Amino acid sequence: MATILTLAGDGIGPEIMTQAIDVLQAVNKKFTLNLTFESGLIGGTAIDATGEPLPEETLSRARAADAVLLGAVGGPKWDTIERSKRPERGLLKIRSELGLFANLRVAKLYPQLANASSIKAEIISGLDLLIVRELTGGIYFGEPRGIRTLDNGEQQGYNTMVYKTSEIERIGKVAFDLAQVRAKASGKPAKICSVDKANVLEVTELWKQTMTKMQESQYSDVALSHMYADNACMQLIRDPKQFDVMVTGNMFGDILSDEAAMLTGSIGMLPSASLDEEGKGMYEPCHGSAPDIAGQDKANPLATILSVAMMLRYTFKQEQAAQAIEQAVSDVLDDGLRTVDILDSSEADLRQVGCQEMGQAVLAKLV
Ligand code: IPM
Ligand code: MG
């Protein structure tokens, strides 16, 4: 028997989590997966209850669980408290404490949503892109960091972007291996694009050199290209289908994955997996807590539901159950159901639904 810890968090977190748990329970039954569920506190709701964005109890239960499903954290209510106690710190801490260094963000366009994107349909149709983002290093965690007062009384903020060879190799291996797996599945040649800013930053010069060495010594079957982060942002809009797997550091990955999400119509569609060295993981939508629409039944639960599919695939090796969820999502889109973020008002046959109705429609396809 395996245990899943669910952490709904803040804002729209609880609404999307309710739908995702319903879906997970349905596949649990249908495929006799023997999963049990626990819930815990993280983010602002944890601060309100315990004073900490990641209470010890949540962390120890996360360590004991076989997988974690996270909603979203943060909101204006907690934006003014001391930085080290803010909800986002809870998220960064759980990623770091659990060693979840590999963040996989899949931007896959459902053909039904080709017109929901702000990009022309022909540019994005058939898009299926994987961003492999390093998640526990780089400028997010580098020391020293802070805001200090200079001798002249002026304040100065500073952060440090650092990567060791071993950290680059570890994430590189994940990206190269997944490029091989994807190539096998698609029948296309394996390729990865490593994104850096090696023209300016030494830390990413080491990144680039390390990726090149890995390709030469271990992955001669995978074509490796390099791209500067600014150009990668541009190319993602100009011709996103030139990419298959992109691998990059923590901050560039944060930025590129939001951009890639919009290619698929809405960030409300983008799931993610954050894995440790054994493949144990935390699964979460790429979007945030959207406090402006929280509690209004407007949120899109599909990114969280698709994150459940990733959990079944990567942690529990239940490919069939994962595909059943992905198919159910596709079927619901075929039926014309749309949350407001993926609604194209020029299409007549679509019906706007709320978070709950969308989640229950997916569920209905699974039972
Ligand atoms: C993400 C988010 C987080 C990040 C925030 C909420 C700390 O933007 O998961 O992409 O920057 O990693
Ligand atoms: Mg982000």
Query: Which run of H or E residues covers position 106?
Result: strand 102-108
Is residue 152 packed enough to be buried (19+ CB in 10 Å), middle (13-18) or exposed (0-12)? exposed
146-149 and 102-108: which strand pairing? unpaired
Q: Are residues 61 and 140 in the same domain?
A: no
Q: Would you say the CB of residue 177 lies under 6 angstroms from ligand 1?
A: no
- Residue 199: CB atoms within 10 A of its CB come to 11
Q: What pLDDT is recorded for position 188?
A: 95
Cis ω for the linkage preceding 76 (within 30 of 0): no
* Max Cα–Cα distance, the chain, nearest Å: 67
Residue 162 lies in a domain: yes
Is 138 in the same domain as 199?
yes
CB 20 within 8 A of CB 308: yes
Q: What is the DSSP string of 172-186?
A: HHHHHHHHHHHHHHH
> pTM above the 0.75 mark?
yes
- Whose atoms come closest to the Cα of 255: which ligand? 2
CATH number of the domain where residue 23 is located: 3.40.718.10
> How far is it, in rounded angstroms, from Cα 251 to Cα 332?
34
Are 299 and 338 a contacting pair, CB within 8 Å? no
* 313, 200: one domain: no
The one catalytic residue in 10, 196, 244, 254 is 254
Q: Which pLDDT score, from 0 to 100, does residue 98 have?
A: 97
Query: In the numeric block, which tokens belong to residue 212?
Result: 């090149």
**10 catalytically annotated:** no
pLDDT in tens, the chain (367 residues): 899 999 999 999 999 999 999 999 999 999 999 999 999 999 999 999 999 999 999 999 999 999 999 999 999 999 999 988 999 999 999 999 999 999 999 999 999 998 888 899 999 999 999 999 999 999 999 999 999 999 999 999 999 999 999 999 999 999 999 999 999 999 999 999 999 999 999 999 999 999 999 999 999 999 999 999 999 999 999 999 999 999 999 999 999 999 998 898 888 899 999 999 998 899 999 999 999 999 999 999 999 999 999 999 999 999 999 999 999 999 999 999 999 999 988 888 999 999 999 999 999 999 8
DSSP one-letter string for 40-74: E--THHHHHHHS-SS-HHHHHHHHHSSEEEEEE--
Same-domain pairing of 148 and 233: yes
What ranges make up the beta strands (E) of 109-145? 128-134
DSSP state at residue 335: T
Do 186 and 206 sit in the same domain of this protein?
A: yes
Give the pLDDT confidence score for residue 239 in this predicted structure: 97
Q: 7, 84, 89, 91: which to mutate for ligand 1, most atoms within 8 A of CB?
A: 91
Say what the pLDDT of residue 323 is. Answer: 96
* Any domain includes 149: yes
**Total tally of structural domains belonging to the chain:** 2
| Nearest ligand, measured from the Cα of 73 | 1
